[in-house]
Structure 1
Amino acid sequence: MRILCGAMLSLAALSLASSALAQVPEQPVLLDEIVLPTELMLDGVPFGGISGLDYDAANDIFYAISDDRAQNGPARFYTIRLMLDGGEITGLDVVSTHELLDVEGQSFAAAAIDPESIRFAADTGTIFWTSEGNAEGAPEIFEADLDGNVVRTFAVPTAYIPDADGKGIHGNLAFESLSLSLDGTSVLVGTENGLMQDGGKATLEAGSPARIAVFDKESGELTAEYIYQTDPIRVPASEEPNYNDNGLSEFLVLDEDRIIAVERTFASGYGNEIAFYIVTFDGAEAVTGLETISGRDVRPMDKQHWFTIGEGDFGLDIDNIESITLGPVIDGDRTLMIASDNNFNRAGQFTQFVLLAAPGL
């Protein structure tokens, strides 16, 4: 992955960035979806909370992580296989369930972990996964084997660690996103909203300066940080509990310069709206190692709207989409698989896997 460091790029580089950014694919086409009820139980444990998803093409397996905080069952990830007939989903098989263990090889205590995203590294045969917060509220990045044992943890910069002085992540708005560079050298994570010292949470009037951090996969060292400016919250809440939000719920590395970013808006009385963007590192100002960007005029990553899924769009009853991965090639087109986190809420939410063809991606 080409990570651009330094304060700003030349006008020529910015021109090239604009050219690269213009390469937004045509709108995807819905192939099919499969919906699983929140009541689904596997060996006495509810299936759900799918907050991260990744595809292992060599073995035709999806890795899916549950954001269960070890409260409905153990912290866990699944391997899943889709049965396909062309672009039609004819079935879904949860092949296996694996407990995620702590650094001591023990089960996580209830509420001591908040798994959010997962990626499979074919070169090491391991998974990388993130937690939005441990018992002290600090976000974490893990590498684990396929039995859920921790191989190592990454040192999270102090700027992300919450303290009593108003520094660090906002609660439940931390490492929602994780992706690996295509060359296998970098691990990228993203906060859902900005750090407390960088700016406020997203509102109806303004977005939030989320951070995307890049780590060297071999050494675990931080190599770059950038600002991803989220959109404002798109709609006001219209009923109790009068809650709404917007944030970066996941991203996927597309090539050496671009990612697909997923922003999820929710408002009580309205529901969910999911916006997808093509985002480039080119032209973005690196903020590597800065404790705060307050008072700085930082150039964030450039993003261009690709498509949005609101209620009824693509013919979907869309839920709380929090994950995205490339899927199998079908009829010559790359596909995207997105999935929803049902929050283990039996009052109207469900687990949804949606398969989209992405011509030209």
Structure 2
Amino acid sequence: MRKCFSIAALFLACTTVPLVTGCSDDDSDTELPTPTSVSSLRFIGEKIVPFKQDYNGTTLGGFSGIDYRPDNNSYYIMCDDAATFQPVRYYTASLDFNETTFSGVTFTGVTTIKRPDGSNFPSAATDPYNTVDPEGIRYDAASKHLIWSSEGIRNVGITPPALINPFLREANPDGTHVADFALPPLFRMQATDNGTRSNGSFEGLSITPDGRYLFTAQEEPIYEDGPRASAGAAGAVIRLVKYDKATRQPVAQFAYKLDAVHTAPIPATQFQLNGVVEVLALSETKLLAMERSFAVGATPDYVVKIYEIDLAGASDVSSLNGLVNASYTPVSKRMVLDVATTGIRRVDNLEGMTFGPKLPNGHTSLIMVSDDNFGATQISQFLAFEVMP
């Protein structure tokens, strides 16, 4: 999610490292074994990509999604550059880590993602009515396609307003378009205070281990579901949407209650938010959810927590046109990790999360990545963890 705010300068020199060539481990499985539950995450290490490093004529940064492909031991990384610097794109990379050490990140490719007609997406500066806001990415082993998301665009400050719906879209690995997933009408962008909020839609997505379903999450509440999260006010509600992957049709929606923003911004009138920026399916009913909280001027400015959530017993709210004063049962949630407890010097704008290869001890690994907003005061960090079942 791209946000326009200023953040205090950070000390990068002592943590920034050059890219290192390597591969994750010697695991050669072509199917990724997914844990059915995550009791905790043990921190292995961190690597930081230097600010605005060039790769094949493109600017590294804006890493808003990541997914692991086990058959070739590689990672797909979404860049949320909306064609401001270079064309809309994703990267491939290899990561070198084991149970005790995270040695490096090596970028191995960059691919332009195309519009359905085969053309490049324009930037908002050149065409505000046909731009895009890329966010999430997953590799579908069954089809060998990529599924990616856009939060959509809602700009009511121009005439006529720019109202570009959020989407889930399937693409070939070469970036060409395959198909769109159906969008529930309630999530359409509108010029009035209805539907999806600007910059608050589909960030996280994940395919269930059996390949049958895909989940996505609204980052923030739609207008009909109530106010956004704020400091001191827990309980803002977003929706998780469950899709039949084969038909690309939504089959259920579930309500998820957000934490309050971790602290008030300074001054209090400045920007604040908390929302779900990634989900990672453990089964058809259990997922990990990444909540990312931000407050301008606060220390810390970012707080990121990982929850295991359970949909069993939760209501299907797809028939409800608004959740304010409605009767429903939300998903349950249990905190797995507050990323600050790892002891890293800075928790930045983490937005992507994927399971990785098995570690030598047989446990699954997990990787997180941050979006630096292409800002010099932020960092592009990769974090490696061991999943404790």
Whether TM exceeds 0.5 here: the answer is yes
* SS of residue in 1 equivalent to 2:385: strand
Number of the residue aligned with 2:369: 339
Asked if structure 2 preserves the Cα contact closer than 8 Å seen for 1:201 and 1:207, the reply is no
Aligned: 1:231 with 2:259: yes
The 1:34/1:207 distance shift into structure 2, 3 A limit, reads same
Aligned: 1:253 with 2:281: yes
For residues 61-80 of structure 1, give each alpha carbon's deviation from its aligned partner in whole angstroms, at most 9, with x where no partner exists. Answer: 11110111111111111111
Asked if structure 1 preserves the Cα contact closer than 8 Å seen for 2:190 and 2:196, the reply is no
Match of 2:325 among 295, 298, 304: 295
Segments of structure 1 that go 5 or more residues without pairing to the other structure are 1-22
Number of the residue aligned with 1:180: 207
1:240 positional shift: 8.8
The separation in 2 between residues aligned to 1:219 and 1:320, in whole angstroms, is: 33
Asked if structure 1 preserves the Cα contact closer than 8 Å seen for 2:308 and 2:334, the reply is yes
The 1:240/1:189 distance shift into structure 2, 3 A limit, reads same
Asked if structure 2 preserves the Cα contact closer than 8 Å seen for 1:159 and 1:290, the reply is no
Asked if structure 1 preserves the Cα contact closer than 8 Å seen for 2:163 and 2:191, the reply is no
Q: Aligned runs of 1:115-134 on 2, under 5 Å? A: 115-134=134-153
Aligned: 1:159 with 2:186: yes
1:84 positional shift: 3.2
Number of the residue aligned with 2:173: 146
RMSD (CA atoms): 1.7
Asked if structure 1 preserves the Cα contact closer than 8 Å seen for 2:52 and 2:61, the reply is no
Number of the residue aligned with 1:136: 163
The 1:163/1:183 distance shift into structure 2, 3 A limit, reads same
Match of 1:76 among 67, 81, 89: 89
* Dislocated runs of 4+, deviation >6 Å: none
Match of 1:49 among 41, 57, 62: 62
Paired amino acid for 2:347: I
Asked if structure 1 preserves the Cα contact closer than 8 Å seen for 2:352 and 2:370, the reply is yes
The separation in 2 between residues aligned to 1:25 and 1:151, in whole angstroms, is: 34
The separation in 2 between residues aligned to 1:249 and 1:185, in whole angstroms, is: 22
Matched residue count: 336
1:282 positional shift: 0.5
1:33 positional shift: 1.3
Number of the residue aligned with 2:28: none
1:157 positional shift: 1.1
1:256 positional shift: 3.0
The separation in 2 between residues aligned to 1:25 and 1:186, in whole angstroms, is: 20
For residues 22-61 of structure 1, give each alpha carbon's deviation from its aligned partner in whole angstroms, at most 9, with x where no partner exists. Answer: x964432111111012221123321111111111112101
For residues 118-163 of structure 1, give each alpha carbon's deviation from its aligned partner in whole angstroms, at most 9, with x where no partner exists. Answer: 0000111000000001452310110000001110011211100122
Asked if structure 2 preserves the Cα contact closer than 8 Å seen for 1:39 and 1:46, the reply is yes
Q: Aligned runs of 1:200-349 on 2, under 5 Å? A: 200-204=227-231, 205-238=233-266, 242-269=270-297, 270=299, 271-310=301-340, 313-330=342-359, 331-346=361-376, 348-349=377-378
Number of the residue aligned with 1:59: 72
The 1:299/1:195 distance shift into structure 2, 3 A limit, reads same
The separation in 1 between residues aligned to 2:260 and 2:213, in whole angstroms, is: 29
Paired amino acid for 1:297: S
**Range with greater deviation from structure 2 (158-167 or 125-134):** 158-167
The separation in 1 between residues aligned to 2:175 and 2:194, in whole angstroms, is: 31
Number of the residue aligned with 1:106: 119
Paired amino acid for 2:274: N
The 1:25/1:314 distance shift into structure 2, 3 A limit, reads farther
Match of 1:350 among 362, 365, 379: 379
The 1:141/1:289 distance shift into structure 2, 3 A limit, reads farther
1:313 positional shift: 3.5
Paired amino acid for 2:329: R
Paired amino acid for 2:188: I
Number of the residue aligned with 1:191: 218
* SS of residue in 2 equivalent to 1:304: strand
For residues 319-361 of structure 1, give each alpha carbon's deviation from its aligned partner in whole angstroms, at most 9, with x where no partner exists. Answer: 1100110011112211110000000001x2111000011121x
1:241 positional shift: 7.8
The separation in 1 between residues aligned to 2:269 and 2:52, in whole angstroms, is: 24
The separation in 2 between residues aligned to 1:290 and 1:350, in whole angstroms, is: 40
1:208 positional shift: 1.7
1:283 positional shift: 0.9
TM-score by length of 2: 0.83
Segments of structure 2 that go 5 or more residues without pairing to the other structure are 1-35, 125-130, 154-161
The separation in 2 between residues aligned to 1:39 and 1:213, in whole angstroms, is: 34
* SS of residue in 1 equivalent to 2:335: strand
The 1:305/1:108 distance shift into structure 2, 3 A limit, reads same
Number of the residue aligned with 2:42: 29
The separation in 2 between residues aligned to 1:151 and 1:137, in whole angstroms, is: 19
For residues 170-223 of structure 1, give each alpha carbon's deviation from its aligned partner in whole angstroms, at most 9, with x where no partner exists. Answer: 100100111111111112111001111111111121332111111111111111
TM-score by length of 1: 0.89
